[in-house]
Structure 1
């Protein structure tokens, strides 16, 4: 189940419309999108199959059931979805136990949100076992709530994870800023009615209404997020 603590009152200045910040994990806060692809390549190589580089754009950012299912179908590998899921999670855990690099600006942004008591949630398509391991590096104190991909009936690109996070924080989705890195995550956040800040990782993403694209989290701070949501109001 989701892990929650009481949401703290936001202190972002008079007139701000920002009620909460919801953050993706892989490729947004931690530099791990490449880890997942490396594990997928390694596992399928052991099964006697070579993955095409173009498939990386298909599997990035999505739930493991979708990504793993696609790769099984594309390669014809003799393995079940359940068996592959175990192998992928195990391989990923081994990598993050060895090294877990944060994205530039991630630590500073999380510290700022925490210092100003901004209700913040971690919303990931990764499984709970993965999120809990990553939280030991990110710091669980930075998040009032976490949502894992294996804890919701429909994960990204469906809006459910972000709607659940907003509700858990007592926030209006229209007054939430979401930070994402993939088209799958962006689709989920936009479908939930949130304003999205995109830091593209694997594939380019164009700006649009309620979607702001930046090159790095170094460009994002609390004032920036407050300004975006207030402007949209």
Structure 2
């Protein structure tokens, strides 16, 4: 969600910086980038190690609360092409799942700004035992959708998210945003979703599976 569907990273960075600085310490842009795509509770432990004297649950609640306030006040900044591609896939009857390490209430808040039924289900960071980069979130989504993970395409913007998708066995597309993602044979890289259609997604899937059969 964050970075692929919507550009909420600036909201997170501001919330993180304010939190760390309130305890007399420094949090840089580079620090923030190391947490892109990570689980919230794992990130909370990083903040604790940087001097934030709060339980992990309180850190998660505080940060998500501040980001949700920004979403309510300043709106939801959707990434170029994301809504259009998702809407087309839905019109074609393609099953979809939102796999995010944000908490469910935040994901539902973001999705309330879409004027169509975007996802069959959500898998969120407060509902999995092992967050990204572990494959559990994507494997859970496929299981709940009633499909094989090998029949799925995952679209990710972060290194942790992409690692989760690749490890799960899904055909994976990287659309880097806040952080760079090295190109590799494990995934396809697109610079943006703008102008991308279901035909492009199908072509990536077909090429990946064809390559797998030829090995």
CA–CA distance in structure 1, aligned partners of residues 178 and 191 of structure 2? 12
What is the SS of the residue equivalent to 2:147?
coil
Compute the displacement of 1:49 (Å): 2.0
Partner residue of 1:194?
A: 170
Partner residue of 1:104?
A: 80
Compute the displacement of 1:139 (Å): 4.8
Q: What runs of 5+ residues in structure 2 fail to find an aligned partner?
A: 210-215
Q: What runs of 5+ residues in structure 1 fail to find an aligned partner?
A: 1-24
TM-score, normalised relative to structure 2: 0.92
After TM superposition, the structure 1 = structure 2 runs for residues 17-32 of structure 1, keeping only pairs within 5 Å, are 25-32=1-8
CA–CA distance in structure 2, aligned partners of residues 185 and 34 of structure 1? 18
Relative to structure 1, is the Cα distance of residues 66 and 140 closer, same or farther in structure 2, using a 3 angstrom cutoff? farther
Q: Does the Cα contact within 8 Å between 2:19 and 2:52 map onto a contact in 1?
A: no
Aligned length: 208
Partner residue of 1:213?
A: 189
What is the SS of the residue equivalent to 1:217?
coil
Q: Does the Cα contact within 8 Å between 1:68 and 1:81 map onto a contact in 2?
A: yes
CA–CA distance in structure 2, aligned partners of residues 210 and 26 of structure 1? 22
Mapped pair 1:121 → 2:97: yes
The partner residue of 2:58 within 60, 83, 104 is 83
Partner residue of 1:151?
A: 127
Partner residue of 2:37?
A: 61
CA–CA distance in structure 2, aligned partners of residues 173 and 165 of structure 1? 9
- Where has structure 1 moved over 4 Å in runs of 4 or more? none
What is the SS of the residue equivalent to 1:196?
strand
CA–CA distance in structure 1, aligned partners of residues 84 and 120 of structure 2? 17
Q: Does the Cα contact within 8 Å between 2:38 and 2:160 map onto a contact in 1?
A: yes
Provide Cα deviations, 1:50-84, integer angstroms capped at 9, x if missing partner: 213321222111011111211220x2222221221
